[in-house]
């Protein structure tokens, strides 16, 4: 602690510094505070941040969802990542309902940019490699097979 400040002030200062750089979920910020101030209870600081609207899981969910779509992540991976960030299932579902991109077109566009033309009908090894890549990015099997079919090749 610096300048003899009380732990609560130090925790607020640290949390505001982190939030000035980017959005955090309550869960993520609680973990950071616990690492930096292991002997202190961060709940009062988190409650204060929420009451002042510096910390907002809904706002974080919107920003996080949009950023992951822009990074070409699929719905399965985005949902899993949001859960790991401590977001409630209802909040995650809201984001998927409000911001519903065309997952099939996203998968097809990603496959096209990454690999070029669809694999030839007999190229099982190429198809398997592209399928694994799309699955890793979090697209459903249906979206992956649609992308591999080349249906949106002109997109």
- Residue of 28, 135, 129 lying closest to 77 (CA atoms): 135
Kindly report the CA angle at 73 between 129 and 112, in degrees rounded to 5? Answer: 50
CA distance 69 to 100: 10
Which residues, other chains included, contact 82 with Cβ-Cβ below 8 Å and sequence gap of 6+? Answer: 61, 64, 65, 91, 92, 95
SS3 129: helix
CA distance 78 to 69: 8
pLDDT, tens digit, 9 for 90 and up, residues 125-143: 999 999 999 999 999 999 9
CA distance 43 to 47: 6
pLDDT, tens digit, 9 for 90 and up, residues 102-123: 999 999 999 999 999 888 888 8
pTM assigned to the model:
0.85
pLDDT, tens digit, 9 for 90 and up, residues 43-82: 999 999 999 999 999 999 999 999 999 999 999 999 999 9
């Amino acid at each position: 602690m610096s300048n003899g400040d009380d732990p609560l002030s130090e925790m607020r200062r640290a949390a505001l510094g982190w939030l000035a750089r980017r959005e955090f979920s309550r869960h993520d910020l609680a973990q950071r505070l616990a690492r930096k101030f292991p002997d202190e209870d961060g709940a009062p600081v988190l409650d204060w941040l929420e009451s002042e609207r510096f910390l907002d899981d809904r706002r974080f969910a919107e920003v996080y969802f949009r950023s992951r779509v822009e990074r070409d992540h699929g719905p399965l991976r985005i949902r899993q990542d949001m859960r790991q960030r401590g977001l409630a299932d209802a909040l995650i579902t809201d984001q998927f309902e409000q911001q519903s991109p065309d997952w099939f077109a996203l998968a097809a566009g990603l496959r096209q940019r990454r690999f070029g033309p669809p694999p030839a009908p007999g190229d099982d090894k190429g198809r398997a490699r592209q399928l694994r890549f799309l699955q890793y990015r979090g697209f459903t099997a249906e979206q992956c097979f649609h992308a591999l079919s080349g249906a949106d090749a002109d997109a």
